[in-house]
Amino acid sequence: MADSNIPAVDLSPFFREGDHEDGKKKAREVISQACSQYGFFQIQNHGVPLELLIRALELSKTFFEYSDDEKRKSSPGSGVQIPAGVEDVFSHLTKLGSLIENIINECLGLPPNFLKEFNHDRSWDLMSAKRYFPTTESENNGISEHEDGNCVTIVLQDQVGGLQVKKNGEWIPVTSAQDTLVVNLGDVIQVLSNNKFKSATHKVVRQQGKSRYSYAFFYNLQGDKWVEPLSKFTEEIGEVPKYRGFLYKDYQALRIRNKTHPPDKPEDVIHITMQSLPRLQKMPIINNGCSA
């Protein structure tokens, strides 16, 4: 396993009054490089108060220490209110997801607000709290190798460790400072960009002696959206599409089936590569309606 070298991006220029274009340019350059290589980066000075992040992790730890009977009382439809600290984190991460989406929009050279208008419905966003028990002699699995099927995922994690990202065939540990959040791209961005930006391959390995607590915020796409490589990354530059188009909700339904009905063979697991098209010769570049 390689040493951690996941870039940490300072987002403070995007929150300060004034231009601060040099700082924004530097952030975009780091994010572009990370997204084109393996789809993972960390963010600092992101606008979410540190005390709120700490409080959310404390609330998660308290909840997971309840008995199973107590946990069931908080199931959907039970009427139990979500703690204010958790709702506040969700609200902050929703705004942060919008900012990150806009930065990615700029990194890809898309028209202003293209991704914002394409992905305008926030009712599909989701945040989940997770606990990973300490490893044992008989079991050390956390979450197996996978990619996220959405647009962008933001992870709040404690300092126990266990999150790893795959880069050039090696697993890199993603360890975060208390005030740092982790960001990874999902399949939607990879397909829209025709593989220019990568959906991050990652996993969680359980640690010795301590449970790991985290939140994953999924900045999702509205289910009826059609997802396919954009012309900017295909015919406009003479490249063939690498993926078939698909309806987002259909793709997510297949991914959920991976969990509810796990396939017997690894090759049968639903994965974005199943939408891949055969490699073909490059297309002629379209310029003002004429081929070049």
Which tens digit of pLDDT belongs to each residue from 84-95?
Answer: 889 999 999 999
Q: Pick the residue with more confidence: 9 or 139?
A: 9
Question: Cα separation of 90 and 128, whole Å?
Answer: 10
What architecture is domain 8-222? Answer: Sandwich (2.60)
Q: How many CB atoms lie within 10 A of CB 252?
A: 19
Residue 252 has pLDDT above 60, yes or no: yes
pLDDT, the chain, mean: 87
pLDDT in tens, 122-169: 999 999 999 999 998 777 778 888 899 999 999 999 999 999 999 889
For 128-154, b/e burial (b = at least 16 CB within 10 A) is ebbebeebeeeeeebeeebbbbbbbbb
pLDDT of residue 142: 81
pLDDT of residue 3: 56
pLDDT of residue 83: 83
Q: Band the pLDDT of 242: cuts 50, 70, 90.
A: very high
